[in-house]
Amino acid sequence: MTETKSFGDALIEAIPNLRAFAHSLSGDAQLSNDLVQETLLKAWTHKDSFVPDSNLKAWLFTILRNTYFTYYRKSQREELDEDHAAMNASVPPPQLTHLEFEDMQKALMRLSPDHREALLLITAEGFSYEDAARVCGCAVGTMKSRVNRARNRLLEEMTGQPPSEAGPDDEDVVKSSSGR
């Protein structure tokens, strides 16, 4: 079955997730389509360096996040308005009210890019900590720490209060609830 699927088919299959990741990471609908386009082009150009039967999605996400951070660093240097991204919100979703969707997106954009990326890969995309660490080029422990910090910050944003300190036994609870 999989043998008949071309590389192009596999790329097309991955586009919805690439768009969701790009949009959530950049907070900008238009930019996210440009990022996905760039990712598809790079993936095609370098498709010989993809190891067959390895995780194509993780490989594509790596290209996308590297493309984004290259752009992000450039735009930081040019001192672009950081808030422009959060304001360029997309259409209201069916599952969340418009306000909830916007609030979530704005809260995400107030996280540091590292923390935002970690939370998206683990919580939204459902990557394992190992795969997510590989995508970001960081240690697994760093990934876990970023996800926890990002969650704490988001909860602060949503409740207006810092989360209460949890006991040492809570680690397992958080771990087991982070799976999909």
Partner 1 sequence: MQHRLDAPEDCKRTDGDFPEPERQPEPEADKGPVPQLPGFAAQLIGQRMRAMYDTIAQEPVPDDLLELVRKLEAKEQQK
SS3 36: helix
Q: Say how many Å lie between the first and final Cα of the chain, rounded.
A: 27
Position among 5, 44, 74, 83 found at the interface with partner 1 (CB under 8 A): 44
- Residues 83-112 touching partner 1, rule: CB under 8 A, are 90-91, 93-96, 100-101, 104-105, 108, 112
Half-sphere exposure of 113 (CA within 13 A, CB side): 17
- Nearer Cβ to partner 1, position 37 or 82? 37
- Nearer Cβ to partner 1, position 59 or 129? 59
- Nearer Cβ to partner 1, position 30 or 83? 30
Strand ranges inside 1-158, DSSP E: none
CB of 27 closer than 8 Å to CB of 105: yes
* Residue 136 near partner 1 by CB under 8 A: yes
CA distance 146 to 129: 11
Closest contact distance (angstroms) between CB of 142 and partner 1 is 6
* Residue 15 near partner 1 by CB under 8 A: yes
* Cβ-Cβ contacts under 8 Å for 124 (sequence gap 6 or more): 20, 21, 24
* Residue 57 near partner 1 by CB under 8 A: no
Closest contact distance (angstroms) between CB of 1 and partner 1 is 19
Position among 5, 16, 82, 87 found at the interface with partner 1 (CB under 8 A): 16
